[in-house]
Amino acid sequence: MDGVHDLGGKQGFGSVRFVKNAAVFHHDWELRANALYALCARKGLINMDEYRHAIERMEPRHYLAASYYERSLTGLASLLVEKGFASTEELNALAGGLFPLALPGGPGRSQPQDRAQFKPGDRVCVRSDYVSGHVRMPAYIRGKSGVVISVSPAYPFPDAHAHGLSADDEPTYDVRFQAEELWPEASEPAMVHVGVFESYLLAIKPCGEPAQAHTPASESLRSAP
């Protein structure tokens, strides 16, 4: 979904703050929050995609004002309440007041039936999808074209995985975009590399017409069960 979390390419937020050799944790509660998240993930109580989506669902003003570990704790607590491992009453009692949780999210989706495979050198276009649930496609590459540089190992399709839907694992592609293509008249000549899931991409013929590519003839495309 297009949420306040998707800040890539956005203006007005000032320069990126960077402190060399900064401490990973600044308070004891941050270490405990990180340990709780790691424990729940290791025990299989949550997965990474639903965890990310829970953070995306935070109330926008809370998200922008919260620190990294506050967002992590909010996302984890929201999932534990939604899954029945904790209650809002318990959290409020422990916090000594209202414990803010993430807002409800939209439904997920399975992989598209016209999903295709690609190889380095292929020209691709990012689908112009607007999704109400979780999505790992940065908004600034929507509808933009680039070139596949390399292929990464397969991983569960996040749009389905975050919502408990079944879907085939699929690779991500390192796609190289021209900065002028992403931000016309607003950037210097440069190349931007983005890891893009297979289901977010369409092939581009040399003439610019989108088409499927490199799908083995022996394999029929199918949607996830």
| Domain ranges, ordered by start, for the chain | 1-105, 123-223
Give Dmax (Cα) for the chain.
63
The pTM of this model reads: 0.84
Name the residue type at position 191.
Answer: M
φ/ψ of 87, rounded to 5, equals -125, 155
What are the pLDDT tens digits along the chain (225 aa)?
Answer: 788 898 888 888 888 888 899 999 999 999 999 999 999 999 999 999 999 999 999 999 999 999 999 999 999 999 999 999 999 999 999 999 999 999 998 899 999 999 999 999 999 999 999 999 999 999 999 999 999 999 999 999 999 999 999 989 999 999 999 999 999 887 788 999 999 999 999 999 754 455 544 444 333 333 333
Q: Which helix (H) or strand (E) holds 94?
A: helix 88-95
Which among 52, 198, 50 is positioned nearest to 114, based on CA atoms?
198
Identity of the amino acid at 212: Q
CATH number belonging to the domain at 1-105, selected among 1.10.510.10, 2.100.10.30, 1.10.472.20, 1.20.1050.40: 1.10.472.20
Q: Is the dihedral of CA 206, 210, 211, 212 positive or negative?
A: positive
Pairing of strands 191-197, 201-204: unpaired
Cα gap 145→142, rounded to integer Å? 9
123-223: which CATH topology? Answer: SH3 type barrels. (2.30.30)
